[in-house]
Chain A
Amino acid sequence: MSPLDFELPHDLEARVPAELRGDGRDDVRLLVSNTEDDSLVHAHFRELPRFLNPGDLVVLNTTATLPAAVTAVRGNGETIALHFSTALPDGRVIVEPRWNGSSETNGAHGTKQTFETFTIPGAGVTLLEPYRDSSRLWLARFDSDLPLRAYQQRHGHPIAYSYVDQRFPIDAYQTVFARDPGSAEMPSAGRAFTRQLLVCLRRRGVRLAKLVLHAGVASLEAHERPHEEFFDVQQRTVDEVRRAKARGGKVVAVGTTVVRALESSLDASGELVATRGWTDVVITPERGVRVVDALLTGFHEPKATHLAMLEAIAGREHIAKSYAAALEYGYLWHEFGDLHLIV
């Protein structure tokens, strides 16, 4: 089944961080959709605690965002944007070359060639082979005196797409609980949280747990699988999930990265266990979810593979109804946009 398709009007694309539109990073709207009866509530994100119950467990991804984009020059002198997505354990890097940072990708693959080398400030990147079946991602070699992480800190800037026409500092792309640098793009569902809201959740009796998943570039084509990503789910988090389940609480994932990490931490018998490594898991309605009961997430682009994950949690009709309402009521899309609690 192909993912949900719809037309996203330009004026529903969030172009600047919430704190520049309103009075704080938590000043975003919250669409709450109830999977039991498909009912919808239009709320504000600061009301989140009242849609959760004492004993529920909110799971956060503490990955921090790297300045993963650099300006690159091709052999023919053409300037493009190069996005570092994921550094693989074998030393190769998944990269995405992009024309002038635009989202236009047609023909990109055809005009780039294996062993093409890009010059980036003080370093070079050589394309080795296309990454799996991707039309835009490449496995590449990074040549520099600096390790990639240090190189990015010095020369990189945050990845931004065409609907964001200003360059914001890397801090605009961090959650307040970010701790472990490693993501090419911010897991944006956590962006609206403030320390105050975390305290409100604790006061409500909602528990918080954390994990790490380093997100790669998100702008996958409709037909592409999410690529491999590093994750780390520790025993403390496993224990928290077990206790939440035991007391009848819901496990609420903040972001699709948290769903992917948790659902990648199952042993052969389907039990959640502490796991650290690389995941290839793709959450589809056919596969379903075993750990996650609810999801807080942003609004995803038409045909995005993440929509399949949402459908795995809530069903196609529920997501279609929610998205129809989000479009009708002018919710904002993308990493600086509004949020959707599927509960």
Chain B
Amino acid sequence: MKRTALVTGASQGLGLAIARLLAQHDFNLVLNARREAPLLEVARELARFTRVTAIAGDISDIAEDVAARAGHVDVLINNASELGPLPMPRLAEYPWDALLRVFRVNAVAPLHLTQLLLPTLKVVINISSDAGVNAYPGWGGYGASKAALEHLSRTLAEENEGLRVVVVDPGDMNTEMHRNATPGADFTSMPTPDLVAPAIVEIVEAAFDGAPRFARVEAQQMMVAS
């Protein structure tokens, strides 16, 4: 029986690279992204390989709708992230309502989806960040939301026997989000998401193979320098 994976933020960047690889690895896909046009384009591309359900919209608004249409989901990949205001404000000036939204998308929506899909879920991959562990000026809002996501992940793993929860720090990548976060930085030396995605698929497979109930993995540590 084919397994089904739900990937949020699947229209570009790491989410798209993961979705492409999962399609080739014979997963049925449920894809979500905010913008409808690019999401439908991805869905058309991947429908050549597998069954794809695409549901556009802000995951923090439509989690219930996505879960209802997704049905049986084995793997949830919470990849959609909200970076917050740009340029990234220091905490002293952080607009509180923008911070609420960052937490809503990055921490609350992943939990909400997990709650809704729990009866069939076997593996949850929560895409986090080094900023969820270490403090960088300007990254405080985003980082705090990822720290919250990581703590939710640990607790979910403790509370649900049979569920594998993996927090993945994908590391610096050449993505639109990262270019927005640090304009002017040199991205040419950073791996593209399609180089990192195989590590995520391997993490998913390892979780199915009975990895520990909780793990935090730095994806680029799984890549051999080439």
Contacts and interface: CB of A to CB of B under 8 A. Distances in A.
Contacts of B68: none
Contact of A202 (B21, B26, B209, B210): B21
Which 8 residue pairs are nearest across A and B when measured between Cβ atoms?
A202-B198, A203-B198, A179-B210, A196-B224, A199-B199, A179-B209, A199-B202, A199-B222
A203 B206 contact: no
A113 interface: no
B69 interface: no
Contacts, number: 36
Contacts of B202: 195, 198-199, 202
A46 interface: yes
Interface residues of A, number: 19
A181 to B, nearest CB: 11
A243 B2 CA distance: 14
A197 B198 CA distance: 11
B1 A196 contact: no
Interface string B189-226: 00000010011011001100110000000000011100
B157 to A, nearest CB: 18
- Among A179, A202, A208, the most chain B Cβ lie within 10 Å of the Cβ of A202
A176 to B, nearest CB: 8
27 contacts: A46-B224, A62-B209, A177-B206, A177-B209, A179-B209, A179-B210, A195-B202, A195-B206, A196-B222, A196-B223, A196-B224, A197-B224, A199-B198, A199-B199, A199-B202, A199-B223, A200-B198, A200-B223, A200-B224, A202-B198, A202-B201, A202-B202, A207-B25, A235-B1, A239-B26, A240-B26, A243-B26
A195 B199 CA distance: 9
Given A177-B209, A198-B202, A199-B199, 16 more contacts: A62-B209, A179-B210, A196-B222, A196-B223, A199-B198, A200-B223, A202-B21, A202-B198, A202-B201, A202-B202, A203-B195, A203-B198, A207-B25, A235-B1, A239-B26, A243-B26
